Amino acid sequence: MDNSHYGFDPTYGYTLATLLNVSSPKEPIYFDEFWQKRYRHALTVNPAPQITLIHEDKFGWRVFSIGYTSTDSFPIKGWLLVPTLGEVKRGFIVGHGYGGRNEPDYHLPFTDAALLFPCFRGLSLSTHPPISNESNFHVLHNIECKDDYILAGCVDDAWVSVSALLSLFPSLVGHLGYLGVSFSGGIGALALAFELRISKGHLNIPTFGHLPLRLRLESIGSARSIQQYYCAHKKTALKTLTYFDAALAAKRIKIPMHCACALFDPCVAPPGQFAIYNALPKQKQLYVLEAGHHNYQYQLHQENELLNQLNIFFESMG
């Protein structure tokens, strides 16, 4: 893998064997209390989703725009896909990376499912000044206080998205899945640690794993932004960020999980990704990617293999 234009080695010297031995860091005393309180509050929110038909049939899907209300009365927008033909038997919340999302993923193989694609607060369709929609600044928004930190609100958005989908499809209780990639992989781990309405989850090159390594291993993108902030504000950063370690959250996830973790990644250091996978206590499956956030020769082949695995993994839900 070519790393010449990064100025550092995005494997960080780890092999698959050593990655599978990365453990979780020490956790703050009130980790559970902090997140349980937020989850209980998120469940009180009535999202009142509103949908508008955009396409009657696009690649076999009826496509809707959707808007609903999250915590702090925050307006969330996104897309809803419903199969043009057949019965809706399952539902999925499908997150996005820190680059946001321009459209739904029409290629997902879940043709008997309703797919909700939320844009988390401050990003893509859910832009909301003064929150920056640039990942390097978004990740720092209100970092001075863990209760107001933007990532806490994004986890709320994941929970409220479940409420929104169930309000539209009440029959899907017990038949919901979550798919998160990169940014929404980390958000997903934090959300699924306490979410009781999701049956199975998938995390793809997930962020926010193992804070001490995340602060130390040279990276690009939002991780570098966090590292720079930490260098200038160590105490403030740690007071907040220790509560947003996806590897600590993963220890609490009780549902079957599928993860895709990369051996080479300049944005999300592989040890952080594997720390999340390693911490999962229950049934779990791993697909090893050659790289994340980096183009490589067999990328399309691996993406197709991964889709096939996910199709099988999510075949039975609930």
Q: How many residues does the chain have?
A: 318
Residue 309, class by beta-carbon neighbours within 10 Å (0-12 exposed, 13-18 middle, 19+ buried)? middle
Amino acid at 66: I
Q: Quote the tokens at residue 224.
A: 């570098």
- Please tell me whether the peptide bond between 266 and the residue prior to it is cis, using omega within 30 degrees of 0: no
Predicted confidence (pLDDT) per residue in 4-30, tens digit: 688 899 999 999 999 999 999 999 999
| Mean pLDDT, residues 65-87 taken together | 97
Q: Quote the tokens at residue 34.
A: 């902090």
Please answer whether residues 34 and 146 qualify as being in contact, where contact means their C-beta atoms are separated by less than 8 angstroms. yes
How far are the Cα atoms of 73, 74, 158, 181, 300 from residue 295, in angstroms, in the given order?
Answer: 39, 35, 28, 16, 10
Please answer whether residues 22 and 210 qualify as being in contact, where contact means their C-beta atoms are separated by less than 8 angstroms. yes
What are the boundaries of each domain within the chain? 16-312
Please answer whether residues 271 and 302 qualify as being in contact, where contact means their C-beta atoms are separated by less than 8 angstroms. no
Predicted confidence (pLDDT) per residue in 91-141, tens digit: 999 999 999 999 999 999 999 999 999 999 999 999 999 999 999 999 999
As a whole number, the mean pLDDT across the chain is: 96
Q: What is the pLDDT of residue 4?
A: 67
Q: Is the pLDDT of residue 318 over 70?
A: no
Predicted confidence (pLDDT) per residue in 264-305, tens digit: 999 999 999 999 999 999 799 999 999 999 999 999 999 999
CATH 3.40.630.30 fits 16-312, yes or no: no
Predicted confidence (pLDDT) per residue in 188-232, tens digit: 999 999 999 999 999 999 999 999 999 999 999 999 999 999 999
Phi and psi at residue 179, to the nearest 5°: -125, 125
Q: Quote the tokens at residue 213.
A: 């390594």
